[in-house]
Structure 1
Amino acid sequence: MNVPWFTVESIDETTFAISEYGHWEQVHSFLLLGENRAVLIDTGLGIGNIRSTTDRLTALPIDVLTTHVHTDHIGSHGQFERIYVHEGDRDWLVHGIQGLSLEQIRRDIGRGITINTPQGFDPAAYTPYRGEPAGLLRDGELIDLGGRFLRVYHTPGHSPGHLCFWDESRGFLFTGDLLYDKTPVYAFYPSTNPSDLVRSLARIAEIDGVRKVYGSHNTLGLGPEILLEAKRAAYYLRETELDHFGTGIHRFKGFSVQF
């Protein structure tokens, strides 16, 4: 289903990717339906009206689960009432993202756009969302959607409170900005932590039963073999003591990281 700005793809009958391919970041948000409620993993860039898209897909009440508080993942948080985040990123959600000026955010949101943007979008007037979350998500927490459960994994590195979500019943692992292909996963800003990111890669590589890995950028849906490569990469980066700032881009089969 194509709607203005967004491309909606059905992963299965109760799982949808809502993608923004017209922007250089190629961001994916994910709508997951249970029997009683739905969750939206991230809300994208805030260029288009993602709420009108989710309303076309479900009448269930929607909770927003935030992988991490960066502009391209919280852009439409203001369109939803119940937003959840890890404690490590709560302060960024309330007071603003550490280390990023408004000028830089506006430059990033307005560049590399390849399709027409929705009427009224003005990057020069773009203001990132700020607000109090409805609650905090904890490592190991099990989220019940009604007949469908998501396990929360705290996976810091890209941000202090970065989260992944594991849907064991379907074998779907939603990795946010911890793992995706084509462009480097980064941990080179002062607000990031390379050694934490490497530990987080090693941790998700141990999850059994993954059928598909859904990162928040670029290719939609990666095979589980990327987790084997993530495990190998984590071991290599630790053993060679490259898991710290300033060591550059490290390329592996299917993905890369930048410290």
Structure 2
Amino acid sequence: MIRDDWFTVQQIDSDTYAISEYGHWEKVHSFLLIGQDKAILIDTGLGIGNIRDVTDQLTELRVEVLTTHVHADHIGSHGQFDKFYVHEDELDWIVNGIKGRTDEQIRKDMTRDITIPTPPGFDPDAYRPFRGVPVGTLKEGDFFDLGNRQLRIYHTPGHSPGHVTIHDETKGYLFTGDLLYDKTPVYAFYPTTNPEDLVRSLERIAGIAGVSRVFGSHNTLGLDPQILGEVQSAVRELRERDLIKFGTGTHRFGSFSVQF
């Protein structure tokens, strides 16, 4: 059993783990996928706790990081790993920061509404979003072979321009980042978002075959793949009602909602 005062580690199967930050209002999940030859960590969370301490307890294999998108709550601990990848459309963000979003704004969001003690040494006043240079960039159709486990990259923009969805084709797991989760709305109302792209991306993932479980990066851990059927119906309704544009508000569809 892995013990950590900040992270909650939940075993999905014998070689897949969710590493969650339930003490923060974002309730962020990162995911460790262990293969025969190497391991992949999908996102690195908020950067409040030391996620490397957790992954080192879970595997002795080298760990590379795949980034669903370059928002601060998904890249906080990228600096703890030698190899990380981001989509090519967000390379400038990871190196130089998101234009129009100051470090001070991000610090306030990342350090508010924390419900459990933070790790020793964490200073909320010193919090800054991670910046660095990836070892490589991601694009549509990229393939990662872990030895006995294959991952495919889908470019699914909308929530952000370089957002990706990762399909574990061996297990059937679909890691949807901030494109699809439950309880709180999927956001596409910021200037850096795009409602039309978001809906096209939702439609795209709803057509992926062989999905056994859907793992969003927030809220409920693991969703029944029937949510993809709800997504297909939602896409039709949004188009028929001409709602796919900024300012139309929050739209609820069974297990999930979107906000434009």
Give the structure 2 partner of residue 64 of structure 1: 65
Q: Give, in whole Å, the separation in 1 of the partners of 2:184 and 2:164.
A: 20
Question: Quick one: distance in 1 between partners of 2:66 and 2:170?
Answer: 19
Asked if structure 1 preserves the Cα contact closer than 8 Å seen for 2:16 and 2:32, the reply is yes
1:61 partner amino acid:
R
Map of 2:92 onto structure 1: 91
Alignment partners' CA distance in 2, 1:157 and 1:98: 17
Displacement after TM superposition at 1:98 (Å): 3.0
1:234 is matched with 235
Q: Residues 98 and 191 of structure 1 are in contact (CA less than 8 Å); yes or no, is this contact kept in structure 2?
A: no
- Residue 133 of structure 1 corresponds to 134
Q: Aligned residue pairs: how many?
A: 259
Partners of 1:87 and 1:103 lie apart in 2 by 26
- Alignment correspondent of 1:123: 124
Q: Which runs of 4+ in 1 moved over 4 A?
A: none
Shift of 1:217: 0.2
Shift of 1:120: 1.5
Q: Tell me, in whole angstroms, the C-alpha distance in 2 between the residues paired with 1:2 and 1:218.
A: 21
Q: Distance in 2 between matches of 1:221 and 1:22?
A: 19
For the Cα contact (< 8 Å) 1:99–1:190, is it kept in 2? no
**CA shift at 1:99, angstroms?**
2.8
Match of 2:31 in 1: 30
Deviation at 1:10, TM superposition (A): 0.5
Give unpaired runs (5+ residues) of structure 2: none
User: What percentage of residue pairs aligned between the two structures are identical?
Assistant: 67
Contact 2:107–2:129 (CA<8 Å) still a contact in 1?
no
Structure 2 distance, partners of 1:25, 1:39, is 22
Q: Could you list the per-position Cα deviations for residues 41-89 of structure 1 after superposition, in whole angstroms to 9, with x for gaps in the alignment? A: 0000000000010000001011100000000000000101101011111
> Is the CA contact 2:12–2:18 (under 8 Å) kept in the aligned structure 1?
yes
In the TM superposition, what is the alpha-carbon distance from 1:104 to its structure 2 partner?
1.3
Letter in 2 for 1:156: P
CA RMSD of aligned residues (A): 0.8
SS at match of 1:30: strand
Q: Secondary structure at the match of 2:33?
A: strand
Match of 1:177 in 2: 178
Name 2:50's counterpart in structure 1: 49
* TM-score for both structures, normalised by structure 1: 0.98
| Distance in 2 separating the partners of 1:14 and 1:86 | 25
1:202 is displaced (CA, Å) by 0.2
5 Å matches for 1:6-21? 6-21=7-22
What is the CA distance between 1:208 and its match in structure 2?
Answer: 1.3
- Equivalence for 1:102: 103
Cα deviation code 1:98-151 (max 9, x no counterpart): 332212111111111111100111221101111111001111111101110001
Deviation at 1:22, TM superposition (A): 0.3
Partners of 2:240 and 2:96 in 1: how far apart? 37
Query: 1:6, 1:190 → 2: CA distance?
Result: 32
2:203 aligned with 1:210, yes or no?
A: no
Alignment partner, residue 4 of structure 1: 5
